[in-house]
């Protein structure tokens, strides 16, 4: 894990792993404002406010999954844990521990995609449809709203699949999927 020591919103020290995670050469993180590691000033200010709020709670620490920025400007998902160097003395500085969790986040996104989208057409699947229908019905029951459901069927698809093979059937489904997205 990367370790940073921050005082007065400036990085005082970064270990080699932190420099590797953020893509900086050895020694070049020291002296930089900690805001430089965030994707935007707004993201930094929101995170800073949250961290300060959590530092006031018992336990003297916080942890968060957030998007941070490398030296080349690319962003990545990180798990960050921070605490004051000395509890109750914010001027003493903070220790931050950072881990790159981009691969885990990508795996989670892939699992979500496989669970809720058809791999051939990349359209939402039956599971996602049922989930969204339940949410919509619950909303309509609360608000006494109305809605409609459109059902689309491909006539003679089984015949086309049997006559020309599954490859042609798959191509047809992909084309229909593209047109539905458009």
Task: Outline where DSSP puts E strands in the chain.
Answer: 2-7, 10-14, 62-69, 75-84, 94-100
User: Please, what is the Cα angle at 22 between 19 and 28, to 5 degrees?
Assistant: 45
Exposed e or buried b per residue across 65-91, where buried means at least 16 C-beta atoms within 10 angstroms of its C-beta: ebebbeeeeeebbbbbebbbeeeeeee
* 153-168 per-position pLDDT tens digit: 889 899 988 999 999 9
Rg from Cα positions in the chain: 25
DSSP class of residue 86 equals: S
Please give the mean pLDDT across all residues of the chain: 90
Q: Can you give the pLDDT at residue 101?
A: 96
* Helix, strand, coil percent content, the chain, rounded in steps of 5: 45, 20, 30
Reduced to 3 states (helix: H, G, I; strand: E, B; else coil), residue 74 is coil
Residues ≥6 apart with Cβ < 8 Å to 45: none
Report pTM.
Answer: 0.68
Q: Can you give the pLDDT at residue 24?
A: 96
């Amino acid at each position: 894990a990367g370790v940073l020591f921050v005082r007065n919103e400036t990085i005082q020290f970064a270990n080699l792993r932190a420099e590797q995670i953020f893509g900086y050469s050895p020694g070049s993180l020291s002296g930089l404002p900690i805001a430089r590691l965030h994707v935007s000033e707004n993201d930094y200010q929101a995170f800073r406010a949250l961290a300060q709020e959590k530092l006031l709670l018992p336990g003297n620490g916080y942890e968060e999954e957030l998007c941070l920025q490398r030296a080349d400007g690319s962003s990545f998902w990180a798990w960050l844990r921070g605490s004051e160097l000395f509890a109750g003395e914010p001027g003493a500085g903070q220790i931050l521990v950072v881990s790159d969790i981009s691969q885990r986040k990508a795996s989670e996104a892939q699992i979500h995609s496989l669970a809720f989208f058809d791999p051939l057409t990349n359209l939402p699947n039956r599971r996602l449809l049922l989930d969204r229908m339940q949410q919509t019905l619950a909303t309509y029951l609360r608000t006494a709203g109305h809605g409609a459901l459109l059902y689309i069927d491909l006539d003679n698809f089984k015949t086309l699949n049997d006559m020309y093979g599954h490859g042609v059937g798959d191509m047809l489904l992909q084309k229909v999927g593209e047109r539905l997205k458009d």
